[in-house]
Amino acid sequence: MVRGLSKNDIQECLSESKRWLQSIYGWELTDNQEWKDFNLDMIHFSKTSRRGHFSKRGVKKGHKDKLIWIGLRDINMWYGYCKKTKFGLNTPFGGVNLHCKKLGLKRTMVHELTHFIQHLQGRQYSELETTENELLFVLSRDKGMIRHLIPYQVRKKQEDSHKLYGYRWRESRDELESELHNEIDNVCVMLRTKYQNDFKTNHKIHKVKSYF
């Protein structure tokens, strides 16, 4: 079908993406007949385009029977939305090269299938949810990818600079590192607050019990 991807590979990618999403959304999804019936025939693959798209009314003239459009060009490149995820991290403005067509295709499928789930569950389309799913999925398959991700604030600066001046804001390594350290510090404070409070609660219960 496409250089480096056989029909079998593509089927495998779809099954794996569906399985992963099921592990996130649970029985509400696995029990859904439309979800169960979703198969490769409902995806249009374009060799020349780069875009991915979901439409409940069918993707474009000529492919109205398909719900998802997947452009296979540069499928190994991971361009994510600039969204403030719970995770705190984002892909950089210029994208990340996953160096693997299969991982790139699965990442795209997770994104577009997330829109399908939003449709099945009657929810608003949200790119925050797709972005979070993409990040979690890619990291679950390749933990090393975390070193290519950047804090949301840095990505935001890249976007703003591109809008204003037409080129991305280039962070100095020092700045990037200090942003990362801040993120780590924030998580440390958060955990410390959580566990110290838990400890206090347990401690109190213990004290009261021994008092009697």
**Interface positions with Zn ion (CB under 5 A):** 130
Q: Which is nearer to Zn ion, 46 or 130 (CB)?
A: 130
Q: Which is nearer to Zn ion, 52 or 151 (CB)?
A: 52
Q: Which is nearer to Zn ion, 90 or 130 (CB)?
A: 130
**Count of other CB atoms within 10 angstroms of residue 98:** 21
Q: Which is nearer to Zn ion, 119 or 171 (CB)?
A: 119
The tokens describing 69, both together, are 């459009």
Position of minimal CB gap to Zn ion: 130
Shortest CB 27 distance to Zn ion, Å: 25
Q: Which is nearer to Zn ion, 60 or 203 (CB)?
A: 60
Shortest CB 108 distance to Zn ion, Å: 10
Q: Which is nearer to Zn ion, 7 or 123 (CB)?
A: 123
**Count of other CB atoms within 10 angstroms of residue 4:** 12
Can you spell out the DSSP letters for the chain? -BTTB-HHHHHHHHHHHHHHHHHHHTHHHHT-HHHHH--GGGEEEESS---EEE-TT-SSTT-TT-SEEEE-TTTTEE-------TT-EE--TT-EE-S-HHHHHHHHHHHHHHHHHHHHTT----HHHHHHHHHHHHHHH-GGGGGG-EEHHHHHHHHHHHHHHSS-----HHHHHHHHHHHHHHHHHHHHHHHHHHHHHHHHHHHHHHH-
Shortest CB 3 distance to Zn ion, Å: 26
Shortest CB 131 distance to Zn ion, Å: 9
Shortest CB 125 distance to Zn ion, Å: 7
Shortest CB 17 distance to Zn ion, Å: 14
Task: Give the chain's end-to-end CA distance (angstroms, integer).
Answer: 74
